[in-house]
Amino acid sequence: MHRTRSLALAATAALLLPLAAPAAADVVDGDFDDGGGAWWSTPEVVTTVTDGALCADVPAGGDPWTHIVGQGGVDLPAGEWSLTFTATGDGPVRANVAQDYAPYDALGTLALAPGAATGTHTLTFDVAQDEPQAQVAFQLGGHDTAWTFCLDDVSLVPAGTEHLPRTDFADGSDPWWYSRPTGIDTSSGAACVDVPGGVGTYDAILGVNDLELPAGDYVARYTGTGDGPVRAVVGLQVDPYTAYGEASGASGELAFTLPGPDDGGQETYPQTQMAFQLGGASEAWTFCLETVSLLSGSTLPPYEPDTGPRVRVNQVGYLADGPQHATLVTDAVDPVAWEIRSGEEVVASGESTPAGADASSGETVHTIDLGSLPAGTYTLVADGETSHPFDVGTTAYDTLRYDALDYFYLARSGTEIDADLVGEDYARPAGHVSSPADGATNKGDLDVPCQPADDPVQPYEEPWTCDYTLDVVGGWYDAGDHGKYVVNGGIATAQLLATYERSLHAATRDADALADGTLAIPESANGVPDVLDEARWELEFLRSMMVPDGEPLAGMVHHKVHDKGWTGLPLLPHEDPQTRYLHRPSTAATLNLAATAAQGARLFAAHDADYADALLTDARTAWKAALATPDLYAPAADGADGGGPYDDRDVSDEFFWAAVELYLTTGERAFGDYVHAHLDDVSDTIGRGGFSWGQVGPLGLIDLATVPNGHRDRDAARDVVLEGADAILAVQQGGPWGAAYAGEEDGTYVWGSNSSVLNAQVVLGVAFDLTGDVAYRDAVIESTDYLLGRNALNLSYVTGYGEVFAQNQHSRWFAAQLNPELPHPPAGSVAGGPNSDSPTWDPTMQGLFPEGCAPQTCYVDDITSWASNEITVNWNSALTWVASFLADQDQGEVVQPTCEVSYTEHGSWRGGFVSQLWLRSTDGPLDWSELTWSWVGDQDVTRLAWGAGWSQEGETVTATSLPWNARAKKATFGFIGDPGSFASPQPEQFWLDGAPCLTVSRR
- How far is 17 from 255, CA to CA, in rounded Å? 9
Burial class of residue 420, CB neighbours in 10 A (0-12, 13-18, 19+):
exposed
870 is catalytic: yes
**Helix ranges (DSSP H) in 54-156:** none
Is 622 in contact with 600 (CB distance < 8 Å)?
no
Instruction: Exactly one of 246, 481, 782, 938 is catalytic; name it.
Output: 481
Is 763 in contact with 728 (CB distance < 8 Å)?
yes
Please give the DSSP secondary-structure letter assigned to residue 66. G
Residue 953 neighbours by CB under 8 Å, 6+ apart: none
Give per-residue burial for 737-751: e unless 16+ CB within 10 Å, then b.
Answer: bbbbbbbbeeebbbb
Residue 102 neighbours by CB under 8 Å, 6+ apart: none
Backbone angles phi, psi at 192, to 5 degrees: -105, 135
Is 133 in contact with 99 (CB distance < 8 Å)?
yes
Is 160 in contact with 298 (CB distance < 8 Å)?
yes
| Cβ neighbours, 10 Å, residue 13 | 28
Instruction: Exactly one of 575, 870, 888, 900 is catalytic; name it.
Output: 870
Residue 462 neighbours by CB under 8 Å, 6+ apart: none
Look at residues 284, 303, 499 and name the one whose alpha carbon lies nearest to residue 401.
499
Instruction: Exactly one of 432, 482, 574, 810 is catalytic; name it.
Output: 810
Look at residues 652, 606, 704, 627 and name the one whose alpha carbon lies nearest to residue 936.
606
Parallel, antiparallel, or unpaired: how do β-strands 899-909 and 998-1002 relate?
parallel
- How far is 43 from 241, CA to CA, in rounded Å? 58
Is 648 in contact with 591 (CB distance < 8 Å)?
no
- How far is 276 from 249, CA to CA, in rounded Å? 10
Look at residues 636, 622, 480 and name the one whose alpha carbon lies nearest to residue 562.
480
Burial class of residue 301, CB neighbours in 10 A (0-12, 13-18, 19+):
middle
Give per-residue burial for 174-198: e unless 16+ CB within 10 Å, then b.
Answer: eebebbbeeebbbeeebbbbbbeee
Burial class of residue 386, CB neighbours in 10 A (0-12, 13-18, 19+):
middle
- How far is 531 from 494, CA to CA, in rounded Å? 11
Kindly list the distances between the CA atom of residue 505 and the CA atoms of 606, 934, 989, in Å, as whole numbers in the listed order: 15, 7, 6
Q: CA 615, 619, 622 angle in degrees (round to 5)?
A: 135
DSSP-based three-state secondary structure for 203: helix
- How far is 622 from 627, CA to CA, in rounded Å? 9
Cα 693 → chain centroid = 16
| Cβ neighbours, 10 Å, residue 19 | 18
Is 800 in contact with 827 (CB distance < 8 Å)?
yes
- How far is 693 from 654, CA to CA, in rounded Å? 10
- How far is 113 from 533, CA to CA, in rounded Å? 81
Look at residues 305, 280, 158, 144 and name the one whose alpha carbon lies nearest to residue 221.
158
Residue 523 neighbours by CB under 8 Å, 6+ apart: 530, 533
Cα radius of gyration rounded to whole Å, the chain: 33
810 is catalytic: yes
Instruction: Exactly one of 217, 246, 445, 861 is catalytic; name it.
Output: 861
Look at residues 860, 775, 844, 772 and name the one whose alpha carbon lies nearest to residue 15.
844
Catalytic positions: 481, 810, 861, 870
